[in-house]
């Protein structure tokens, strides 16, 4: 699923369309709402849905300038570092594919030979065995927290800001 953001009255081709998949959009719009809640409109939470929410031209332009200022001052990079630190603190979760054993023994795992696959030396030293693997957790038995699927990228903020400045306002579909 993705968020298709259409310019309402684009001034250039760049302002016609901006797209993020949901994995990139949630942290991007979350950043906008957290750092500039006053610039994200009256119902900013609707920006997390693709049901037509958006901003008018003046609002979009103000948000675009604010985001570019954030990048220039290093605020966005500091946010990224803090975001990454928060992700690093999240606990790992049990792997649902192998039942947190590190060895996938269901029909898929058996068919693919995962129960007999040799582990990398790094994983083997970590888990104390040489064989038995799971494609869901690399044989460890746990996975990174689901929130790791949502990357925050400064370049994405920049591209969105540049879109905003020439979009003439936008709607999210």
What is the rounded CA–CA span in Å between residue 31 and residue 154?
10
Q: Give me the pLDDT at residue 96, please.
A: 96
Question: Per-residue pLDDT for 1 more than 90?
Answer: no
- How many domains, in total, are found in the chain? 2
120 and 164 inside one domain: no
Q: Which residues, 6 or more positions from 50, have their beta carbon under 8 angstroms from its beta carbon?
A: 1, 2, 3, 4, 172, 173
27 and 63 inside one domain: yes
43 and 113 inside one domain: no
Digit-coded pLDDT (tens) for 128-164: 999 999 999 999 999 999 999 999 999 999 999 999 9
79 and 103 inside one domain: no
80 and 100 inside one domain: no
Split at pLDDT 50, 70, 90, the class of 108 is very high
18 and 58 inside one domain: yes
**Tokens of residue 31, six digits:** 């950043």
Q: What's the mean pLDDT in 96-121?
A: 95
Domain that holds residue 59: 2-88+148-172
73 and 54 inside one domain: yes
Rounded-to-10 torsion of CA 11, 13, 15, 16: 110
Digit-coded pLDDT (tens) for 50-66: 999 999 999 999 999 99
138 and 164 inside one domain: no
Average pLDDT, the chain: 96
Q: Tell the residue number behind the tokens 């795992």, with chain if given.
A: 109
What is the rounded CA–CA span in Å between residue 76 and residue 54?
22
What is the rounded CA–CA span in Å between residue 147 and residue 158?
22
Q: Give me the pLDDT at residue 42, please.
A: 87
Q: Strand pairing partners for 55?
A: 170
Q: Give me the pLDDT at residue 25, please.
A: 98
Q: Strand pairing partners for 5?
A: 18, 172
106 and 57 inside one domain: no
Question: Per-residue pLDDT for 79 more than 90?
Answer: yes
């Amino acid at each position: 699923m993705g968020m298709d953001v259409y310019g309402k009255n684009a001034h250039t081709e760049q302002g016609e369309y901006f797209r993020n998949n949901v994995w990139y959009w949630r942290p991007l719009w979350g950043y906008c709402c957290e750092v500039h809640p006053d610039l994200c409109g009256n119902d900013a939470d609707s920006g997390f849905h693709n049901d037509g929410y958006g901003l008018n031209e003046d609002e979009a332009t103000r948000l675009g300038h604010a985001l570019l200022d954030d990048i220039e001052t290093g605020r966005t990079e500091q946010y990224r570092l803090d975001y990454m630190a928060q992700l690093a603190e999240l606990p790992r979760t049990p792997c649902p594919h192998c039942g947190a054993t590190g060895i996938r023994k269901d029909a898929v795992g058996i068919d693919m030979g995962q129960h007999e696959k040799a582990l990398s030396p790094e994983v083997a030293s970590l888990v104390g065995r040489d064989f038995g693997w799971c494609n869901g957790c690399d044989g460890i038995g746990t996975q990174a927290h689901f929130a790791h699927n949502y990357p925050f990228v400064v370049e994405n903020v920049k591209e969105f800001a540049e879109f905003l400045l020439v979009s003439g306002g936008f709607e999210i579909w």
